[in-house]
């Protein structure tokens, strides 16, 4: 896939890693970011562009990795947005965690214009992005998805196919809801154990050695046990956004999600106590405080 051009919009922690992985596979890259310095920092491996529309002109693949629905709407439909600037038949790969609804809207908007939207949110942290070891959740028109394969292979260790862009985004939302719930569960379980005299690190170790172990549980369990909520691997306020997306999907699809509601409430409590910038494992501090434990960090 050498020499294929990809316009990459949004080069924060995740986007930057994906750009580097694409560069290693000899894709030609054009980058843009709302914060000019972030794009400039990639000038050794990518052409820096002044606007989204300038970046996508004549390019077959456009990838967005942005903060939220609002940012994706701006970059797609706003002034200097990409929708009216993409080449016929070009593909927009959406790697952001956005609402199921917006996934649907993007799909329809691109179809009407003769371009394509492939929902392609990713699972994994910035370091996995750098190493090209993300998991990609992919959904869209089959031909368009097929054309994206070399890109997915450059950034990921595997692709999981869904039936539509909306579904790809929904699976990502569900995955993050499950991680958030796992953190809440750890928070409650470890607080209960601690009040019963069991050191959190020991309890995580016990649980991990038996049938309960999973990478997510062990990773967050260890972090909570250490009370090490900074620096953030994934900021609590971003996780809050994602749980809000799960609730929005549930509201739209008429599926109540009481666990997500509970986690959402506890995240508001965490944010009200100044933890929005901490790692989302800091959600466990709410359970610790509720139990009257001295809270870490």
Q: Tell me whether residue 112 or residue 210 sits nearer to a copy of itself (CB atom).
A: 210
Annotation marks residue 195 as catalytic = no
Exactly one of 101, 172, 241, 296 is catalytic; name it. 172
Distant-in-sequence, close-in-space partners of 210: CB < 8 Å, separation ≥ 6: none
Min separation Cβ 213 and a copy of itself, Å: 6
Distant-in-sequence, close-in-space partners of 283: CB < 8 Å, separation ≥ 6: 180, 183, 184, 187, 236, 239, 263, 266, 267, 270
Q: Tell me whether residue 39 or residue 257 sits nearer to a copy of itself (CB atom).
A: 257
For residues 199 and 164, is the Cβ–Cβ distance under 8 A?
no
Min separation Cβ 262 and a copy of itself, Å: 6
Min separation Cβ 4 and a copy of itself, Å: 26
- Unique residue bearing structure tokens 């900021």: 235
**Closest C-alpha to 129, from 225, 242, 281, 19:** 19
Q: Tell me whether residue 38 or residue 275 sits nearer to a copy of itself (CB atom).
A: 275
Q: Tell me whether residue 89 or residue 163 sits nearer to a copy of itself (CB atom).
A: 163
Cα torsion angle, 60, 66, 72, 78, sign? negative
Q: How far apart are CA 29 and CA 164, in angstroms?
A: 27
Q: How far apart are CA 236 and CA 72, in angstroms?
A: 21
Min separation Cβ 261 and a copy of itself, Å: 4
Q: Which residues are catalytic?
A: 172
């Amino acid at each position: 896939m050498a020499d294929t051009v990809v316009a990459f919009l949004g080069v924060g922690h995740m986007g930057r890693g994906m750009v580097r992985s694409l560069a290693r596979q000899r894709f030609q890259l054009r980058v843009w970011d709302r914060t000019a310095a972030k794009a400039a920092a990639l000038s050794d491996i990518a052409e820096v562009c002044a606007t989204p529309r300038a970046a996508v002109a004549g390019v077959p693949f456009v990838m967005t990795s942005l903060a939220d629905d609002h940012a994706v709407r701006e970059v797609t439909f706003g002034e200097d947005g990409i929708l009216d600037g993409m080449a016929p038949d070009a593909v927009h790969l959406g790697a952001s965690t956005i609402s199921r609804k917006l996934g649907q809207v993007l799909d329809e908007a691109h179809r009407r214009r003769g371009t394509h939207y492939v929902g392609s949110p990713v699972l994994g942290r910035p370091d996995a992005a750098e190493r090209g070891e993300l998991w990609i959740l992919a959904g869209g028109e089959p031909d368009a998805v097929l054309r994206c394969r070399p890109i997915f292979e450059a950034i990921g260790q595997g692709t999981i196919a869904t039936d539509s862009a909306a579904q790809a985004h929904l699976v990502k939302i569900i995955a993050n809801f499950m991680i958030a719930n796992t953190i809440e569960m750890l928070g409650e379980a470890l607080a209960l154990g601690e009040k019963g005299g069991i050191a959190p690190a020991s309890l995580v170790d016990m649980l991990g050695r038996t049938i309960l172990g999973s990478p997510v549980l062990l990773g967050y369990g260890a972090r909570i046990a250490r009370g090490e909520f900074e620096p953030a691997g994934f900021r609590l306020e971003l996780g809050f956004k994602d749980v809000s997306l799960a609730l929005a999907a549930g509201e739209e699809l008429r599926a109540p999600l009481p666990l997500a509601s509970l986690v959402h409430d506890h995240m508001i409590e965490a944010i009200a106590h100044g933890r929005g910038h901490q790692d989302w494992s800091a959600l466990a501090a709410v359970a610790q405080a509720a139990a009257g434990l001295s809270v870490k960090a």
